[in-house]
Amino acid sequence: MRKLIVVSVLSAIAASSVGFGFFVLVGAVIRENKARAMLVPQVENLMHQRVVEKTLGIVITQRKEDVDRVRRFFVDDAQPVDFVTSLEQTAQGTRNGIEIGADEGAKSTAGELLFRVSVEGTRDTVQNFLQAVEAMPYLATVEAADFQMLGPGVPRSRGMLRGPGAVAPSVRLLLDIRVQASQRRL
């Protein structure tokens, strides 16, 4: 009888061990299935994004001329020289003097540049300058405009026109111009 008890106890221990191992394995399989179920949508999403990126790359390559045309509306934030040169040429073409400063402070935001512009000339030439700025091929917004009448004897700014045909400025226009900047190439 003693043998029967020992064999029964050993059989019970063996059966319990096998049962415990079975439940551990079943738990591991269930956890793996849950993890796989969570990863499958992520993998599918990444594959979809990859297809979209390839498609966009093809479209951008095929539509390079259109992309370049749109890109010209943005000012390169690393080198806004083209925009500044356009402002200076516009001022010169409208017979105004100009001084330009970039606001590096808190008013400039990501993807935008803020320029502070001072233009001096006659009322008509300054108005012509403002109309020309509005027609410039940039995504630009005049955020603030302040006309100031200048009296006689007011010194000209450094950038003001001089020489034959130059008229003493009678108006100063202070502008805050915010332009959209491109941060990376398409």
Residue 105 binned pLDDT confidence (cut-offs 50, 70, 90): very low
Q: What is the pLDDT of residue 186?
A: 44
Q: What is the pTM of this model?
A: 0.54
| pLDDT (tens digit per residue) in 2-14 | 888 888 888 889 8
Give kind and range of the element (H or E) at residue 140.
strand 140-149
- Asked whether the predicted pLDDT for residue 45 surpasses 80, the reply is yes
How many angstroms separate the CA atoms of 117 and 81, rounded? Answer: 14
Indicate the range of 47-56, 66-75, 125-134, 136-145 predicted with least confidence: 66-75
Q: Average model confidence (pLDDT) for the chain?
A: 79
How many angstroms separate the CA atoms of 52 and 42, rounded? Answer: 15
**How far is residue 153 from each of residues 115, 149, 169, measured CA to CA in Å?**
28, 12, 10
Residue 1 tokens read as: 């009888």
Q: What is the pLDDT of residue 83?
A: 79
Mean per-residue pLDDT, 18-35: 88
